[in-house]
Every structure is written in structure tokens, then in C-alpha cells.
Amino acid sequence: MTDKNLAGKVAVVTGASRGIGASVAVELARQGAHVVLIARTIGGLEAVDDKIKSFGGTATLMPLDLFKLDDLDALGPTLYQHFPKVDIFIGNAGMLGTLAPITHVKPDEFKKVMDLNVMSNYRLLRTLDPLLKASTAGRVVFVTSGVTQDLKAYWGEYAISKVALEALAKIYAAECANTNVKVNILDPGRVRTAMRAQAYPGEDPAIRPHPDDIVSHFMPLVDDDCAMNGECVFVPSTK
């Protein structure tokens, strides 16, 4: 893919203040897209915006709390006031929750993980759907995890939420089969993120790839020529 081949595109990225979301947002901007950066922390969003501005890219900062589900319904109409379409949606924001026996997880925390990892993406799809379908090549990529392939003890709430997210993505993909929208899922593998450090506090983060090192795997999924729909792409990672 050549530089600036996303010129004229509008991309929405959640969890854009750090980690994979920040790295993907910067790369989308580097390739010419105007990026709508969504996260709770305005300081983190400003840091990403500064990086984007450093090479002449453009972004819109939207400090949103994705736990406030009812507020998400206004995102589509708000964006429509400024953009006639959304070409790319990267559903990246997520949380790990507690690694514990599923029967020990408190109901309010289970709900919190489901709200962020599943319900917020459902609400975002609802509000962005008309804008994605207004694009000549709407592209949606949801970030999942290898836990969906290996359902193991103590990872219950996170694994359940990611299985549900993959089902949501595949169902939406099937419903978009006769439109210009393509919907896919990307498993980035073991990456040097804050969530990885939370799950494996004793691990040396230097042995894992930086988020910048895996963003190239997102790019074919947002390209106009992408023919995949309802698929899961796995990024090879260090064992």
C-alpha cells in the first residue's frame, strides 16, 4: 500500500489514546485519513493528536466515556454534522476485568466488562451504520483476542465478552453482505500493551512486539480492495 492512499477517508478509532488504538490511529492518519480519536482521557488523545500533526495529518478529538452507553447514540448524528460518511471504524477499546473463577466475579464487574467490550460496540454500530453505508467502501475492524480460541479457567468475563464481540461482528458482516461495507476481526496476538501487563505482570514487556509493529496487519482490512467479510485475521506473534 502506498502512502496517502486513504486520502479523503474518515476513520473512527476507539481506545485511541494509547496502545494498539493509538498506533492504528497514527498509521491511518499517516496514510491520509482524517481520524476521529475516541477515548476517555483527553491528555492521551492530545498526545496522539500531536503525533499526527507532526507529519501533517489531521484528527478530531472526541473524549467519550464508552461506559455511558446511552450517550453513544448521539455519535453518528454528531459526526454527520461534519462528515457525510464514515469510511473506517476500528472497534479497539476493551478491558480485561478480573482473572478469577467465573463464580467469584462480582456481577457489577461482569456487567462492566460486557458493557465496554460488547455493548459499546453494539451501540456504536447502530449509530455509525448509516454513515458506514454512505461510504463507497465502508470498513469495520474489531479487535479480539486469542482467548476465544482457547477458553480456559479464570479468563471467563474477558473471554465471554470477546466471543460475544466476534459473534456481533460476524452477524453484522452477514447483514452487510449486499452492501459496500466489509466487517472483519483482527487478533493482534501477544502485544506490548497495558492490558498485557495487567494480565501477565511478571512478563518482560520487551519480549513482545510494540503496537507500532503490528499496525500493518490492519491496513489490508481497511483498503478499498478488501474482499474479506466476516473473517478473523490472526497476527503471528512471539510464543
Q: Is residue 200's pLDDT more than 90?
A: no
The owner of cell 495487567 is: 198
Tell me whether strands 58-63 and 88-91 are parallel, antiparallel or unpaired. unpaired
CATH of the domain at 204: 3.40.50.720
Task: Please indicate, yes or no, if residue 4 is contained in any of the structural domains.
Answer: no
The owner of cell 449486499 is: 178
Q: Is residue 129's pLDDT more than 60?
A: yes
Task: Please indicate, yes or no, if residue 226 is contained in any of the structural domains.
Answer: yes
Neighbours of 76 (CB within 10 A): 19
pLDDT, residue 33, reads: 98
Give me the chain's average pLDDT, please.
Answer: 95
Q: Read off the pTM.
A: 0.95
Task: Please indicate, yes or no, if residue 140 is contained in any of the structural domains.
Answer: yes
Task: Please indicate, yes or no, if residue 193 is contained in any of the structural domains.
Answer: yes
Task: Please indicate, yes or no, if residue 229 is contained in any of the structural domains.
Answer: yes
Task: Please indicate, yes or no, if residue 2 is contained in any of the structural domains.
Answer: no
Known catalytic residues are 158
Closest Cα partner for 10 from 92, 91, 83? 83
pLDDT, residue 238, reads: 45
Grid coordinates representing 172 are: 453484522
Q: How far is CA 150 from the centre of its chain?
A: 21
**140 lies in which domain range?**
10-234
**Dihedral, CA of residue 123, residue 125, residue 130 and residue 135, to nearest 10:** 150
DSSP character at residue 115: I
SS3 of 37, please? strand
Over residues 60-106, the pLDDT tens digits come to 999 999 999 999 999 999 999 999 999 999 999 999 999 999 999 99
As a residue count, the chain comes to 239
CA separation for the pair 107, 130 (Å, rounded): 34
Considering its fold, how many domains does the chain have in total? 1
Task: Please indicate, yes or no, if residue 1 is contained in any of the structural domains.
Answer: no
Over residues 5-48, the pLDDT tens digits come to 999 999 999 999 999 999 999 999 999 999 999 999 999 999 99
Task: Please indicate, yes or no, if residue 239 is contained in any of the structural domains.
Answer: no
C-beta separation of 123 from 73 below 8 A: yes
C-beta separation of 96 from 112 below 8 A: no
